[in-house]
Chain A
Amino acid sequence: MTTHYLVLSGLLFAIGAMGVLIRRNAIVVFMCVELMLNACNLAFVTFSRQVGNLEGQIIAFFVMVVAAAEVVVGLAIIVTIFRTRRSASVDDANLLKY
């Protein structure tokens, strides 16, 4: 079963990455990032059971906590940007360039 879980994890990760690359709405991009994190967590949990070691679950736990913090800050940034630019598109914030 380990292989199945890992393949699922890889697929979810790739889908998340694709979403990050093709979506413009900053919030959706953020969701895709969360999806990638979740895919990683799945791999951690799978490996944890595979090798019979709880530490994988502990790492997954920490990933969740850090993701929570990240979401808070990230969404705050999105709100701030939206307030000044009236846009949540990641392509609109492109002033930092050549």
Chain B
Amino acid sequence: MESEIAQITQHTGGVIGNAWLMIAFPLVGAFILLVFNKLTDRWGHLLGVAMSLASFVVAVLAFFELIGFGASERRRAVELYEFIPNLDLKMGLLIDPLSISFALLITGVGSLIHIYSIGYMAHDEHRRRFFAYLNLFVSAMLLLVLADNYVGLFIGWEGVGLASYLLIGFWQFKPSAAVAAKKAFVVNRVGDFGLLVGMFVIWTTFGTLAFKDLYGKIGEAGASDGVMLAIGLLLLLGACGKSAQLPLQSWLLDAMEGPTPVSALIHAATMVTAGVYLVVRSGAFFFPEGSGAALAVTIVGAATLLAGAIIGCAKDDIKKGLAGSTMSQIGYMMLGAGLGPAGYAFAIGHLITHGFFKADLFLGAGSVMHGMNDEVNMRKYGGLRKFMPITFVTFFIGYLAIIGFPLLSGYFTKDGIIETAVHHAPVLGWLAVLGAGITGFYMSRMVFMTFFGQKRWADDAHPHESPAVMTVPLMVLSLGALGLGAWLVLGGTLYDFLIPSVGGSAAEAPKFNPFTTPGLVTLALVAVGAVFAWMRYGRAEVPAVQPRGSFLTTFARRDLYGDAINESLFMRPGQWLTRLAVFFDNRGIDGLVNGLAAGIGGSSGRLRRIQTGFARTYALSIFIGAALLTGALLLVGTI
């Protein structure tokens, strides 16, 4: 399998040789918007969109140049400059099928969301700053996926973390947004710590951080299994932080405090999939013979996909419901990525289709909120399909795609993951099947509560369709949700395309076959879930106030007590520790220091009374001293 990974070819010139433009355009955009500040208020959003589109154009051109090469030459390395000469680290870009896929997704969906944001943020006085951050994000994300070494990847990794922090807290006047931003940042630090330590271990073991050199050395250097496992688990920790996988999932739901386009771009379509990218890109560390790292990836993926789905069932906040769904879908991708080259293609495929339909869903939700005075509680929606038909249709397509309705995007990619999982790891695979059923339930619940049933909205709400600048991106995205999956999966297009990057062989390409036991059971479970949702939320009256709910419902509403666990396991002991440290500092160290100072101060305060200022007193002490000295000299017989 390993041998199928193509050698990396040095490349100069052409579009690929100038692929750094992809990163530079949005970076320049962010720079201009942030530095020139209010001067750019009037046209700043247009600049942001233009930069994102320019990046997309470069990505498309690079893509076509790349497929011009033969399959074995499709890994093009572009050297940019000496980055850290002491570490012999050159900064360069690696343009290969994997990274170009990501680049296309990021710039493509990113551009659509940029365009959408023009309408969505039209009434926000800080729209320019918003576009600056979006551009910053796109730039950092492209650096993350295009860098040809772990240092570049890490810089991008932190860059997207920063952009995410800034955008979650974009409405920082809301305390909840500020807190959510901080939470996301802190939780991500845990993951970043894992990635960083993983990089350290890679460096000490192999002496390089460049992908190109690593591929050769992993086989030869013969690092022990323990070291490989450690690297794998550390990288997985990094991936968990960025991709909101268990146990670092807690920040994603709160991250919905950001503006909806942010949720769509960063916390659904692109940034949160960086973990999947990391796992796939570092595949060599996860798949030495007998490594437990890959197993850990699959277990994390399966656990998260169930947890996300369960959380999604209980949320009344439409964005938080979608956030749970995002967790769940990334869980699928991780599961696929943990299965090795057989699952990589489906994981990446699902990642791409998910990028489209989840962005579609989020933007649809944003469109609904736009028409409903920013109301996010689905219990206050109902029957909206007549008032916002375009939003409804696009959202519905996204919905069908995510639940895996036959022939839509999600159907092909998710089914692929499930089939591969059942084949390689049956228990996890059947859990994934169960997750698909739950997906059918909670997504149907969302659609029925929002667009069907009786109207439950407040009197001052005047639901209306969003402007074209918002609906057109929705339509484009829903087109992707419709057909992209079929195009990528049928005939193994994506699988073949990715072989140079991730391995596998054309002969082993999995044939898509829906008529297997897992596939059929999945469909049946999804149907059951959807019908159940229809009975509870479509046909029956939805209570406008959240009912008490069972233990399980409460469990899900509280995000599976993730926050409570974090609080009791880390926050409270941390607080106790700091209190102890403060106590020790105040009483112990300060006590010692202050006591010493007070003692010296007090004694010198008494001692200084000796200094009376009377010359005669001083003279007396001098004379007595002289007399004593003379006496002493006499006694010892010196005089």
Task: Across the interface, name the chain B residue whose C-beta is closest to A91.
Answer: B614
For A95, the chain B residues whose CB sits under 8 A away are 613
Partner of B612, one of A20, A90, A93, A97: A97
Mark the stretch among B82-90, B318-326, B615-623 that contacts chain A. B615-623
B residues 596-615 touching A (CB-CB < 8 Å): 608-609, 611-615
Q: Report the separation of the CA atoms of residues A98 and B607 in the bound assembly, to the nearest whole angstrom.
A: 9
Majority DSSP secondary structure for residues of B touching A: helix
Q: Report the separation of the CA atoms of residues A13 and B134 in the bound assembly, to the nearest whole angstrom.
A: 95
- The reply on A24 being an interface residue by CB < 8 A is yes
Judge whether A21 and B611 touch: CB under 8 Å.
Answer: no
Task: Across the interface, name the chain B residue whose C-beta is closest to A96.
Answer: B613
Q: Report the separation of the CA atoms of residues A14 and B25 in the bound assembly, to the nearest whole angstrom.
A: 97
C-beta contact mask, A80-95 vs B, less than 8 Å → 1, else 0?
Answer: 0000000000110111
For B623, the chain A residues whose CB sits under 8 A away are 17, 20-21
Residue pairs across A and B with Cβ atoms less than 8 A apart, 23 shown, are: A17-B623, A20-B616, A20-B619, A20-B623, A21-B616, A21-B619, A21-B620, A21-B623, A22-B616, A24-B616, A90-B614, A91-B614, A91-B616, A93-B615, A94-B613, A94-B614, A95-B613, A96-B613, A97-B612, A97-B613, A98-B608, A98-B612, A98-B613
| Distance (whole angstroms) from the CB of B610 to the closest CB of chain A | 8
Judge whether A90 and B615 touch: CB under 8 Å.
Answer: yes
Task: Across the interface, name the chain A residue whose C-beta is closest to B620.
Answer: A21
- Chain B contact-residue range equals 10 to 19
Partner of A90, one of B609, B611, B616, B620: B616
Q: Report the separation of the CA atoms of residues A43 and B597 in the bound assembly, to the nearest whole angstrom.
A: 51
For A22, the chain B residues whose CB sits under 8 A away are 616
Q: Report the separation of the CA atoms of residues A94 and B619 in the bound assembly, to the nearest whole angstrom.
A: 13
Judge whether A98 and B616 touch: CB under 8 Å.
Answer: no
Known: A17-B623, A91-B615, A91-B616. 14 other contacts (CB 8 A): A20-B616, A20-B619, A21-B623, A22-B616, A24-B616, A90-B615, A93-B615, A94-B612, A94-B613, A94-B615, A96-B613, A97-B612, A98-B609, A98-B613
| Distance (whole angstroms) from the CB of B463 to the closest CB of chain A | 83
The CB with the most chain B CB atoms within 10 A, among A17, A24, A96, is that of A17
Q: Report the separation of the CA atoms of residues A21 and B623 in the bound assembly, to the nearest whole angstrom.
A: 9
Task: Across the interface, name the chain A residue whose C-beta is closest to B605.
Answer: A98
For B614, the chain A residues whose CB sits under 8 A away are 90-91, 94
Task: Across the interface, name the chain B residue whose C-beta is closest to A24.
Answer: B616
Q: Report the separation of the CA atoms of residues A56 and B259 in the bound assembly, to the nearest whole angstrom.
A: 102
Q: Report the separation of the CA atoms of residues A90 and B623 in the bound assembly, to the nearest whole angstrom.
A: 17
B residues 235-251 touching A (CB-CB < 8 Å): none
| Distance (whole angstroms) from the CB of A2 to the closest CB of chain B | 15
For A24, the chain B residues whose CB sits under 8 A away are 616
